[in-house]
Amino acid sequence: IQLINILRDASPDVALGRVYLPQDMLRAEGVSTEEVLQRKTSPGYRKVVATVADRAKSYLLEAEIGKSTLPGMGPLFVQIIVELYREYLFKLEQIGYDNLNNISGERVKISTMQKLMASIKATIVVLTKR
Protein backbone atom coordinates (compact mmCIF):
# COMPACT_ATOMS: atom_id res chain seq x y z
CA ILE A 1 0.00 0.00 0.00
CA GLN A 2 2.80 2.41 0.87
CA LEU A 3 4.49 1.86 -2.49
CA ILE A 4 1.26 2.80 -4.23
CA ASN A 5 0.85 5.84 -1.98
CA ILE A 6 4.35 6.95 -3.00
CA LEU A 7 3.41 6.60 -6.67
CA ARG A 8 0.01 8.21 -6.20
CA ASP A 9 1.34 11.19 -4.24
CA ALA A 10 4.47 11.92 -6.31
CA SER A 11 3.24 15.26 -7.67
CA PRO A 12 2.33 16.87 -4.32
CA ASP A 13 5.50 15.40 -2.79
CA VAL A 14 7.62 17.03 -5.52
CA ALA A 15 5.86 20.33 -4.81
CA LEU A 16 7.20 19.96 -1.25
CA GLY A 17 10.70 19.14 -2.53
CA ARG A 18 10.42 15.44 -1.71
CA VAL A 19 11.19 12.39 -3.85
CA TYR A 20 10.36 9.04 -2.31
CA LEU A 21 11.11 6.79 -5.28
CA PRO A 22 14.13 4.51 -4.76
CA GLN A 23 17.21 6.59 -5.51
CA ASP A 24 19.21 3.58 -6.67
CA MET A 25 16.55 2.75 -9.26
CA LEU A 26 16.43 6.35 -10.46
CA ARG A 27 20.24 6.46 -10.78
CA ALA A 28 20.26 3.16 -12.65
CA GLU A 29 17.91 4.72 -15.21
CA GLY A 30 19.99 7.90 -15.43
CA VAL A 31 17.40 10.03 -13.63
CA SER A 32 18.55 12.63 -11.11
CA THR A 33 16.57 13.91 -8.15
CA GLU A 34 16.82 17.39 -9.68
CA GLU A 35 15.10 16.18 -12.85
CA VAL A 36 12.27 14.70 -10.80
CA LEU A 37 11.91 17.92 -8.81
CA GLN A 38 11.67 19.74 -12.15
CA ARG A 39 8.89 17.29 -13.14
CA LYS A 40 10.85 15.86 -16.06
CA THR A 41 9.30 12.50 -16.80
CA SER A 42 11.78 10.77 -19.06
CA PRO A 43 11.41 7.19 -20.26
CA GLY A 44 13.79 6.22 -17.45
CA TYR A 45 11.59 7.89 -14.85
CA ARG A 46 8.47 6.19 -16.19
CA LYS A 47 10.33 2.86 -16.16
CA VAL A 48 11.10 3.31 -12.45
CA VAL A 49 7.45 4.14 -11.73
CA ALA A 50 6.34 1.07 -13.73
CA THR A 51 8.82 -1.17 -11.91
CA VAL A 52 7.66 0.05 -8.48
CA ALA A 53 4.04 -0.42 -9.64
CA ASP A 54 4.82 -4.01 -10.64
CA ARG A 55 6.36 -4.66 -7.24
CA ALA A 56 3.26 -3.20 -5.59
CA LYS A 57 1.03 -5.47 -7.72
CA SER A 58 2.87 -8.51 -6.41
CA TYR A 59 2.37 -7.34 -2.82
CA LEU A 60 -1.34 -6.84 -3.47
CA LEU A 61 -1.52 -10.40 -4.74
CA GLU A 62 0.21 -11.65 -1.58
CA ALA A 63 -2.28 -9.72 0.55
CA GLU A 64 -5.14 -11.17 -1.44
CA ILE A 65 -3.84 -14.71 -0.92
CA GLY A 66 -3.19 -14.17 2.78
CA LYS A 67 -6.55 -12.60 3.57
CA SER A 68 -8.13 -16.00 4.14
CA THR A 69 -6.14 -16.35 7.38
CA LEU A 70 -7.95 -13.38 8.91
CA PRO A 71 -11.02 -13.72 11.14
CA GLY A 72 -14.42 -12.11 10.70
CA MET A 73 -14.65 -9.25 8.24
CA GLY A 74 -10.88 -9.15 7.76
CA PRO A 75 -10.93 -10.86 4.36
CA LEU A 76 -13.51 -8.40 3.04
CA PHE A 77 -11.59 -5.36 4.29
CA VAL A 78 -8.35 -6.64 2.75
CA GLN A 79 -10.07 -7.38 -0.57
CA ILE A 80 -11.60 -3.89 -0.66
CA ILE A 81 -8.17 -2.33 -0.12
CA VAL A 82 -6.65 -4.60 -2.77
CA GLU A 83 -9.31 -3.66 -5.33
CA LEU A 84 -9.05 0.08 -4.57
CA TYR A 85 -5.29 0.12 -4.86
CA ARG A 86 -5.39 -1.92 -8.06
CA GLU A 87 -7.50 0.90 -9.48
CA TYR A 88 -4.74 3.38 -8.61
CA LEU A 89 -2.20 1.18 -10.38
CA PHE A 90 -4.49 0.90 -13.41
CA LYS A 91 -4.82 4.70 -13.47
CA LEU A 92 -1.03 5.06 -13.36
CA GLU A 93 -0.75 2.69 -16.29
CA GLN A 94 -3.40 4.66 -18.21
CA ILE A 95 -1.42 7.89 -17.82
CA GLY A 96 1.78 6.25 -19.01
CA TYR A 97 3.34 6.20 -15.53
CA ASP A 98 3.70 10.00 -15.66
CA ASN A 99 2.61 10.75 -12.12
CA LEU A 100 4.25 14.19 -11.97
CA ASN A 101 2.38 16.15 -14.59
CA ASN A 102 -1.30 15.81 -13.78
CA ILE A 103 -3.31 18.84 -14.76
CA SER A 104 -3.68 20.31 -11.28
CA GLY A 105 -0.49 19.01 -9.69
CA GLU A 106 -2.55 16.76 -7.44
CA ARG A 107 -2.10 13.14 -6.58
CA VAL A 108 -3.25 10.44 -8.94
CA LYS A 109 -6.96 9.98 -8.26
CA ILE A 110 -9.72 7.54 -8.98
CA SER A 111 -13.36 8.53 -9.15
CA THR A 112 -16.02 7.87 -6.54
CA MET A 113 -17.65 5.49 -9.02
CA GLN A 114 -14.39 3.56 -9.38
CA LYS A 115 -14.15 3.32 -5.60
CA LEU A 116 -17.73 2.07 -5.37
CA MET A 117 -17.21 -0.48 -8.13
CA ALA A 118 -13.99 -1.71 -6.51
CA SER A 119 -15.85 -2.19 -3.22
CA ILE A 120 -18.65 -4.10 -4.94
CA LYS A 121 -16.15 -6.28 -6.79
CA ALA A 122 -14.34 -7.02 -3.51
CA THR A 123 -17.59 -8.02 -1.86
CA ILE A 124 -18.46 -10.37 -4.72
CA VAL A 125 -14.97 -11.91 -4.68
CA VAL A 126 -15.13 -12.59 -0.94
CA LEU A 127 -18.72 -13.87 -0.96
CA THR A 128 -18.14 -16.23 -3.88
CA LYS A 129 -15.04 -17.76 -2.26
CA ARG A 130 -16.92 -18.93 0.83
Residue range 89-112: average pLDDT?
A: 89
What is the rounded distance in angstroms from the CA atom of residue 48 to the CA atom of residue 22?
Answer: 8
Q: What is the mean pLDDT of the chain?
A: 94
Say yes or no to pLDDT of 61 above 90: yes
**Cα angle for residues 27, 31, 37 (degrees, 5° grid):** 120
pLDDT score at 102? 73
Torsion of CA 73, 92, 53, 37, to 10 degrees: -120
Of 89, 31, 29, which Cα lies nearest the Cα of 19? 31
Confidence of residue 28 (pLDDT cuts 50, 70, 90): very high
Residue range 118-124: average pLDDT?
A: 94
pLDDT score at 105? 74
**pLDDT more than 90, % of the chain:** 93
**pTM score of the predicted model:** 0.92
Confidence of residue 130 (pLDDT cuts 50, 70, 90): low
